[in-house]
Amino acid sequence: MLLKAGVDISRLRPEIRKKLSILVDAFEGLEEVELTITSTFEGTHSAGSLHYAHLAIDIRSGDNGYVTVNTLKEGLGPDYDVVWEGDHIHIEYDPKPVLSPPKNGVSYLSRLE
């Protein structure tokens, strides 16, 4: 795994840090180039970006970005968003809320009708 000059991974939260080995393994099977992290919190990102919460990274995508994105999505699981942004792949830890089971046989959605 390589880091672009100036990239600091020391502040990455465990939710991202513990998945770095999955990223390395995915690149070994797919890419001709080694995994390179190009951004964590440094640089300019959109307001509210999870980069600033140390829950997102950008990685360099090779010529086969679409296949890489699908492989990473499978390896990381549903709590991670993986988006091919043309010149890089954006990865963030963004768990989705789980709806609770219906109470007394009445679901939240049926009460909205």
Per-residue b or e along 53-85, where b marks 16 or more CB atoms closer than 10 Å to that residue's CB: ebbbbbbbbbeebeebbebbbeebeeebbbebe
**What CA–CA distance (Å, rounded) separates 53 from 74?**
24
| Chain segment 5-42, per-residue pLDDT in tens | 999 999 999 999 999 998 888 878 765 667 889 999 98
pLDDT of 108 strictly over 60: no
Q: Where along the chain do its domains lie?
A: 2-112
The mean per-residue pLDDT over the stretch 58-68 comes to 76
Strand order from edge to edge, sheet including 80-84: 2-3, 36-39, 56-60, 88-93, 80-84
pTM of the model: 0.80
Summary mean pLDDT of the chain: 83
Output the pLDDT for position 30. Answer: 67
Q: Name which CATH class applies to 2-112.
A: alpha beta
Q: What does the pLDDT read at residue 38?
A: 93
* Closest to 88 measured CA to CA, from 110, 105, 106, 69: 69
